[in-house]
Amino acid sequence: MVTNDCDRSSDDALLRTERRESESILYTLVRAIAAAEGVPAAELESLYESVDAGALAELLEHADRRGTEVRVAFTVGEYDVVASLEETMTVHVYDAR
């Protein structure tokens, strides 16, 4: 099992993406990872190969509805992804190497 450090400094991130007002939580994740890969979101390989995207979206959406802060970390390909939901949803993408 691979572990992922949720407490990495945001200064070390390759990029930082914030959720847009009309955007779904899942699309924010896809957009952030696609930006790190330098491809359009529609061309990104499925998240389902790395993480249960439906369960992840459900967890983050539930926390959003409840006003609960949450931070989730996972690895997609060569990137560590940290999604945090505080006042807004922010996704940080790091080089996993």
Tens digit of each residue's pLDDT (9 = 90 or more) over 10-26: 667 889 999 998 999 88
Query: In sequence order, which ranges of the chain are alpha helices (DSSP H)?
Result: 25-37, 53-66
In the numeric block, which tokens belong to residue 33? 């990872």
pTM over 0.75: yes
- The pLDDT, as a whole number, for residue 2 is 45
pLDDT digits (tens, 9 = 90+) for 42-86: 888 878 888 898 899 899 989 989 999 999 999 988 899 999 988
Report DSSP letters for 53-68, one per residue: HHHHHHHHHHHHHHT-
Instruction: List the chain domain ranges.
Output: 10-95
